[in-house]
Amino acid sequence: MLNITGRGTAQTCDGLSRRDFLQVGSLGAAGVTLADLERARAEGQANKEDDRKSVIMIFNLGAPSQFETFDPKPEAPAEIRGPFKPIPVAGGGFNISEIFPGHARNGEKFSVVRSCFHTAAAVHDTGHQMMQTGRLFSGGINSPHAGCVASYLQGRRTDLPSHVILPEPMGPTGGNLPHGQDAGFLGKAHDPFVLMADPSKKNFRVPDLQPPKQIGQARLDRRRRLRKIVDETVKGFEASENAKLLDSSFQAAFRIITSEQARAAFDLSKEPKKVRDRYGMTRFGQCCLLSRRLIEAGVRFVTVNTFLTVFNEITWDIHGTKPFTSIEGMRDIVAPMYDRGYSALLEDLDERGLLEDTLVCNLSEFGRTPRINPAGGRDHWPQCWSAYFAGGGVQGGRTVGRSDPIGAYPVERPVSPANVVATIYKSLGYDLETVLPGPAGRPFPLVNQGTDPIDELF
């Protein structure tokens, strides 16, 4: 994963320096050949028209309570239904919590799935893995994030990366397991571009999108020429598939850090103040605005992490005792920030004609216990929760699936994390029968056999 830092230093997740990054980069370690790459891309892209499709994945790290958000239970006892009242969305298709008035205003644009579940451990990390990759990691095999699959199957459209994570990758959430936000067995060449900065800060910029002072443009040009000489000198290597892949990675890195287009896409100062204020001058709000700019500039897939950890900050993780959040903290701090940013994003995409081809999916790792705990919060509950989708062919104003009267279990149309990821691939136009070259080059299905998308959304 390429980390973009503010200190003029770029490092990959295994500690490679900028020099290594500009000199090294290959899928060979994953057992993937150039022929595999081209074949998988040909199989995965349904047709040229699908090249315009994009995704914004908003991942609500910490896991919102279904009761206080998108599956209110007003008829349940007080200790189950919680303190908030339901309100109808625009068009009256369904009810959501009163703490999301902006969502309610845009209810005709999105649809809610109220029957998500999984059977893995009730820890954040396992849910992160499954909801972003479609699989629980096992046997040392880390599956790729859906955005990294998009990068692998279709590549970049412009100088910009194919997949970008804002503002940072997920941090510690208690399980000490991978979160599923990299390319896994597809190799580091398809890891996401990571911002590693807060776009709400004054004078926000991405330093490494321009040649840093320590290196400079002339030095980069010299390094590029030297590399060409070395490749031409080592007979036989320059014609190999690994050499072609290495050169492709080098050119991609060089293109990103020297591209005027990339710098312009990340430059929020180009947005009028009223637009920035519309999204809210919060980290999440400005990440939503930046995601719109990146999609507009040609990025295929943007992942926005609402939060980075569940510890010592107000998040969706409403256990009710420190270092976690209370239901009141969610109402007073989290919900206003989130409602404003998401509503502005949906309206802005729609006004600019981008929503039809851009799937906006709002996901989380699990739900919350039906009964409020003694501390006044709710604990982890992977047996049932809600996710919601807009754009990208999704029909708004409806609900899919149904939970029981106390929101504990699905009673209609159960939806697994694999179904959610298959839905993302369907929106992108991918053939779900596509086979990826997995570890050691072994065939690896895009989705497991029998895994269907949530067709009721479309």
Beta-strand pair 385-390/399-400: unpaired
pLDDT of residue 256: 73
Backbone angles phi, psi at 118, to 5 degrees: -150, 165
Burial 57-89 (b: 16+ CB within 10 A, else e): bbbbbbbbbbbbbbbbbeebeeebbbebeebeb
Q: What ranges make up the beta strands (E) of 266-356?
A: 301-305
Residue 47 has a pLDDT of 52
Q: What is the pLDDT along the chain (458 residues), one digit of tens a residue?
A: 544 333 333 333 333 333 333 333 333 333 334 444 444 444 555 455 678 999 999 999 999 999 999 999 999 999 999 999 999 999 888 999 999 999 999 999 999 999 999 999 999 999 999 999 999 999 999 999 999 999 999 999 999 999 999 999 999 999 999 999 999 999 999 999 999 999 999 989 886 565 545 455 555 565 556 556 555 655 554 555 554 454 555 566 667 777 889 999 999 999 999 999 999 999 999 999 999 999 999 999 999 999 999 998 899 999 999 889 999 999 999 999 999 999 999 999 999 999 999 999 999 999 999 999 999 999 999 999 999 999 999 999 999 999 999 999 999 999 999 999 999 999 999 999 999 999 988 999 999 999 999 999 99
C-alpha 132/C-alpha 304 separation (Å) is 12
User: DSSP for 156-217?
Assistant: -SSSS-SEEEES------SS-S--S-S-GGG-GGGPPEE--S-TTSTT---GGGS--TTTHH
Write down the pLDDT at residue 131: 98
In this prediction, residue 5 carries a pLDDT of: 36
Where exactly are the structural domains of the chain? 45-197+275-457
User: Whole-model pTM above 0.95?
Assistant: no
Cα separations (Å) of 387 from 275, 279, 334, 395?
A: 27, 21, 17, 15
Beta bridge partners of residue 301, listed in sequence order: 55, 163
- Tell me the CATH class for 45-197+275-457: alpha beta
- Return the pLDDT at 217: 55
pLDDT of amino acid 1 = 52
CA distances to 119, 153, 190 from 43, rounded to whole Å, are 31, 8, 18
Helix or strand or coil: residue 91? coil
Amino acid 248: pLDDT? 53
Which residues are within 8 A (CB) of 368 and not within 5 positions of it... i.e. 6 or more apart?
A: 63, 64, 65, 66, 67, 68, 318, 378, 379, 380, 381, 385
What lies within 8 Å, CB to CB, of 14 at 6+ separation is none
**Amino acid making up residue 445:** P
